[in-house]
Structure 1
């Protein structure tokens, strides 16, 4: 027996989210069916607000409701350092530790030939443009410690070398194959403190 169309569409919608399979999507759809209408309206409004009110910062690529973002706009940040991360969630992870006071650059991915993602598919060109600013003295590569992250870090290192900016990599307190966003503040703090030059 098939579900009525509205619930079937909701199940299909939930299955578009990462990590949500058919059974979880079904469970979530029936949970929504039993929610109060006001809660469902608030939930749908939150989804629409995320799409309508958020954008990527034109300077660093971080999510923001104002352009440039609060980090790029902060005059107290150390403008001599740019920390390159793969995802906006990595910026939030780095900010939680309260040890790093420089700027960021979000790549929105990593080079992965197996997935058909090349250097042209991530936010590298605007990074190279930013490095033309003579205030930038150090580039910190904080890509994830996995094959894709290492490949991306090496690619950026080769591009930056001729420019002559000091390029460092986070210390290996981070586990190989792990994601930056899941690292605790102490691990991230040590990784940034003991970063190494490439």
Structure 2
């Protein structure tokens, strides 16, 4: 199963989260299924998880809670939180987690599925999907770049081109020193003292025709 946490123009700083900085954190994810004719939901066992970005572990609430890597998403504890804060200027980015099951789902037609997310700071826009591929894993590439690569070159925005370029330079060993300098500059990115929340105008590709009756 793939869980996407996506940016959205209507969220603070574009999200993906709903808190004041657009951040988010998820305590736990569960997948439940209900075959036709059954009244009970059965929990699917989740065995491993990977993500495009791994945040360093940090303690919250005087050590009562921990926030950090994606392994916290399926560890069975509400005292741990998966988050993906990439730091100043970079934190408002999409993220993805790919979760493997103990065994493939073999269920009859008409089976219902339910995804449960136990959250701390709520993400504003998520999407879940299933795959038939065996052993699925998330690519260790920023998910914004992965999404940009799925768009034809002539249709990519400037932001998508920049995401692809950043992912490329981070993959080049010879650019390690330059990448370190760029990361240092990003760490000095100024934090906004205030923000204005307003609805984002629809992008042309998503525009709808409006008619007066």
TM-score (norm 2): 0.20
With structure 1 as the length reference, what TM-score do the two structures score? 0.21
Q: Give the structure with the larger strand fraction.
A: 2
**Structure possessing the higher relative contact order (Cα contacts under 8 Å, 6 or more residues apart):** 2
| Structure with greater helix percent | 1
